[in-house]
Amino acid sequence: MKQIKLILMALCCVSFIASAQKPTVYVLATGGTIAGEGKTEVNSAYTSGAITVDELLSAVPEINDIATIKGEQVANIGSQDMNDEVWLKLSKRVNELLKKSDVHAIVITHGTDTQEETAYFLNLTVKSDKPVILVGSMRPSTAISADGPRNIYNAVACAVDKSSKGKGVMVVMDDRILGADDLSKTNTLSVGTFQNPNFGELGIVYNGKPVYSREPMKRHTSKSEFDVSHLDKLPRVEIILSYSNATDLFVNAAVNAGVKGIVTAGVGNGNLTTVMQNALAAAVKNGVAVVRSSRIATGPTAQWDEIDDDKLGFSASWFVNPYRARVLLMLALTKTNNYKEIQRMFTEY
């Protein structure tokens, strides 16, 4: 009897030491398809954000071999409903956790619809070089060949690997590692939907290990100037699309609603119909910051082309697409509404 007790105690010690040696990774869940439940294994109809973080994690027991996992439910929504309140909560919680010396990294489960916006928001507001990785899935947890469990395993595998430090916020899906600086959802249904269309992906996950092939080129995380730790709301910024015959209707509506900034998704190199451009120039005179971006999927919205940004008081977004440009402009407006200063930020982030 005494011997059995001793063996049990020894086993407990071994497992305690083993778990103490494993890096601690927090998995913060926010909802999305990865936490979705379908009507059947093959039907495309499903409800986002239906299962909890514990249920999600129980589908990938293998992650417990490589990390000590702690799950937290931050929200449980389809990411089409992602909002400033959850962003601020998430950013503050990530910063709080990463300050602890015993927390190695954060994995965030998230719907794919607005994942590029949340990843970029965190890329600009997290104050740490420790890995922060967003992960989602395109198929609900109940589907045949659900992609969520593999994506979660890969995300945790990247999170615990020391080569993942200092790379800014990343997204791991479909065996690929993508940077938040150039993230786009490019396909409505495909499991390989995410791309870094201008700069190329950061790397791949191979046999459960990250293999990086480039560094992020833009300012991020610990080198970012933005601090939301004392904020409970963000300046309101709207995105307005341009197209043939676009009028001043939405620009005027936005100004009348009291927005602080407008991002345009212009045609070509961020061009705008003359009537829309004139309305935006008037908006600038009323103190609204205007950033030109483009509805085109790749290439910069560059200054010094057909539009004289300096004359009109506009800033150009360069490689930041309209959705991420909205995020950067919101953060920029927490510090300034000077168009030159905002232009600097769009060239640096």
* 78 is a contact residue toward ligand DGL (CB under 6 A): yes
Stretch that binds ligand DGL, among 76-84, 316-324, 327-335, 339-347 (CB under 6 A): 76-84
40-59 positions binding ligand DGL, by CB under 6 A: 48
CB of 78 to ligand DGL, least distance (A): 3
CA distance 19 to 9: 15
* 36 Cβ contact partners less than 8 Å away, ≥ 6 residues apart: 46, 47, 48, 49, 50, 51, 140, 141, 142
* 109 is a contact residue toward ligand DGL (CB under 6 A): no
Give the pairing type, strands 37-38 and 46-47: antiparallel
Amino acid identity for residue 281 in this structure: A
Stretch that binds ligand DGL, among 73-81, 147-155, 266-274, 281-289 (CB under 6 A): 73-81
How many positions of this chain bind ligand DGL (CB under 6 A)? 11
Q: Judged by CB, which is closer to ligand DGL: 153, or 319?
A: 153
**Active-site hit among 30, 33, 68, 109:** 33
The dihedral through the CA atoms of 101, 105, 110, 113 has a sign that is: positive
> What is the pattern of x (binds ligand DGL, CB under 6 A) and - over residues 136-155?
x-x-----------------
* 216 is a contact residue toward ligand DGL (CB under 6 A): no
The dihedral through the CA atoms of 85, 241, 291, 186 has a sign that is: positive
CA distance 30 to 74: 5
Residue number, nearest CB to ligand DGL: 111
CB of 119 to ligand DGL, least distance (A): 13
* Residue 30 is a catalytic residue: no
In this structure, the number of other CB atoms found within 10 A of the CB of residue 322 comes to 21
* 71 is a contact residue toward ligand DGL (CB under 6 A): no
Tokens matching residue 125: 């507001």
26, 33, 168, 322: which one contacts ligand DGL (CB under 6 A)? 33
User: What are the two backbone dihedrals, phi and then psi, of residue 194, each rounded to the nearest 5 degrees?
Assistant: -85, 140
CA distance 338 to 228: 20
CB of 79 to ligand DGL, least distance (A): 3
304 dihedral zone (left: phi>0; alpha: psi -120 to 50; beta): left
* 118 is a contact residue toward ligand DGL (CB under 6 A): no
CB of 30 to ligand DGL, least distance (A): 9
CB of 42 to ligand DGL, least distance (A): 17
Is residue 324 a contact partner of residue 117, using CB atoms and an 8 Å limit? yes
Where does this chain bind ligand DGL (CB under 6 A)? 32-33, 48, 78-80, 111-113, 136, 138
Q: Which are the catalytic amino acids?
A: 33
